[in-house]
Every structure is written in structure tokens, then in C-alpha cells.
Structure 1
Amino acid sequence: MTLPSWTDTKLGAKKRAALWLVTEVGEGGIFIKEDVRTAFPGLSQIDRRVRELRQHGWRIDTNREDASLGQHEQRLVAVGEPVWEEGKGSLPSTSLTETQRRELLSKDGNYCRSCGITPGAVFYGTYESAQLDIARRPVKKPDGSTSVEPVSECNKCRVGGKGLTADLPGVLAGIAKLSAMERGMLVGWIKADEREFGMVERLWADYRTLPASSRDEVREALGTP
């Protein structure tokens, strides 16, 4: 099937941007914002249209997701929905009022639902303070469907959690396998909506981030083969 031309000004900016990425950059190709602006002179919102493609299943990585990319580079990893086709490319309104945002943050306990950090707290092992906002997370439902639901997340988890889908049936199935003691422990955490992680758990998390040679040193220090 022949694709429309990305130079066709009768098409919307998002459709033209998608076609430009497919035909001029290609999957695996790298581009910078200046390339986009040069291709679409005079279109002030073209960068935003490119970002919107991620909401249609397009994977466009920056150096936050791919450390091999330069600060201004982006890579078209995978083409998503063909937004240039009839009936595709539209999105329901997802904007939130400030009141709705505050209500959602309050309902989520005013902390990141992924890592538990609170606004202004310093990320463990860094000097960076956390900021909370509302992210949208796909959630797999027991009937097999998937819905997108708002959730409070910090600035680090919003980046690291991209592409993840919450698994509600998996959680429910796991609960069914718990012993009475484990179930009671979980109930307590859910009622308090809080759980403190001990030093051993923090050290385990830090250990998992170490490169192989450094993990070997830890195992040697512990006398573990």
C-alpha cells in the first residue's frame, strides 16, 4: 500500500510528522528536534505532535530511555498506529483540572504509587528531590481488557515505568495463594497504605543496580560463591 506523502499540507501536522518519521527516518533511525523543525518550517507545535505519537503506540526513545543517545537525539524504535489512516489518530481528552489533580494526589496518599516517595523527599543515594504528578498507566483487567487509569508517580518513575502495564488479575491470583499470616500482613499494609522497607531490602535493591564485577565483590565480601 502506498503511503501518503508527508509533504501534503492537506494532512494534519501529526499525520505528516508520522509519515516523515516512517519515510525519512525509519525504524532504528536517529533524529534531532532541529531535523523536525527543518522538515516542517513554520509549524510551531510540530515537536508536540511528534511526542503525541507515543500515545498511539509509537516508541520514540530519548537519552532518558537509551543512554547511548546524545542529549538532543531521539530514536524511532517502533512505528505504532498508522495515524494517517481514516478514523485513526484521534485521542480522547485526558486533560485534568487542577482540582481533579489535587483530588487524585490526595486519593493516592500524596506519594508515588510506584516507589512510595513523597513530594520534596530526596531520592535514595542522590541529591535530587522528588516531584509528583499524574501519570496514566495501562491496567489489565480480570476480563482480559485493558484500561488506562490515572495514578500518582514521581518524576523518576514516570520515566522508568514507561511501557509497563499493571496486572490486576496477577495481583488477585497472588493473593489467593497467600497463607493466612501473609494475607493478614498484606491487609495491614493496605489499611495503612504504607510499608517501610528495611535496610536489607534497600541493600538488595542497590545490589541489583551494580554491574557484574561489582556484584562479584559483594558476593566475595559475603562469602557467597
Structure 2
Amino acid sequence: MRDLRPAGWVILTYRDKPSLQPDQLYLEKIGLPIWEAEHRAAGLRQISAKTRRFVYERDGHMCRRCGVAAGEEYADDPGVHARLTLGHVNPHKSGNGANAEDLITECARCNETVKHLTGVQMTKEQVWDRMKELPLRGKRDLLAWMKVDHRPLSPAEKAWGMYRQLPAAVREELEKDLEALMRS
């Protein structure tokens, strides 16, 4: 869907059109025929399976914005489960490609929200006030994350991200196996 927007396609979500359900889309305008060679560059941004897999693994199969894992239920929206997607660090229209350095793992909700943040992003002062309130350990952690532009995941968080990628039946087996391991 996002690949069509730069080619002039207008596809609305429930955030744009309140009468839609969260899983519904509305095609408002058909853009350039990107299936034709002369229009392909206007829309398609193909990300190879290898690059997609690398980025998901690099990011621990978790949204880098909110930290939710694939298939995990949102804490503030019971019954709604996260679906991971890839987002561009800088907008594609600025000429950025589809290589791993330009991509981050995002849940669909954060990916869509980023587009709607214009005018409602927190100010530097608001963020600074929150940073000042952190205990010393929190400030140290935050500064380390800022320097590498990434929050390293603990081994348990990495295992959680990998676990969430497995089919439900396999996850149930692993849960039982871990319970048995901890009892012994």
C-alpha cells in the first residue's frame, strides 16, 4: 500500500476515514499504473527478502519505536495484535533506498502514526523535562542508547522476539518445555 502512495494512489485507513474499521482500507484515487515499466520507479520500493529478514533480526523482531513484538497484544488496546513492517529512517521520497541502513522495524500502528505526527510531536523542552526526571541509571542508559541510536535488547528480549515469530503450536510447546526446565 505504501508503495502505491508515491505513485499518486490515495488509500485511506481508519485514521483518515473514521467510518472504517482498523482492518479496512478505502481506495479513494487510483494513481499511476506502476505495473507498467515506465511508471514502476514512481511507486514500487522493493525490499528484498534477505534485507527484510536482516532488518527484522537486527531489531530483535520488535518495533523500534514502541518495543512491541510481532503478534503481541498492545497494552493500551486489548485484542489488537501487533503486525511488524519496515519503515524508512528518512522518507523514501527524499531519495533513500531500500537497504538495511535506511530501514527500521516498526509495528503497523507506529508506522502509520509517524505519518500523522506533524504538529503533535513533543517539543525539545517536553522531552528534556522527561529526561531530567529519570534516575541517574536511566539517564546513563538513555545516553548510551542515544550514542548508538539503538536500544540494545537483553538476551531475554531477543529470545522473546524470536519466540513471537514461531507458530502458536510451537510457542505452546516451548512454554511447556521452559516450565519443565524451571521445575527441574
TM-score between both structures, scaled by the size of structure 1: 0.40
Indicate the structure whose relative CO is greater, using CA pairs within 8 Å and at least 6 residues apart: 2
Higher helix residue share:
2
TM-score between both structures, scaled by the size of structure 2: 0.46
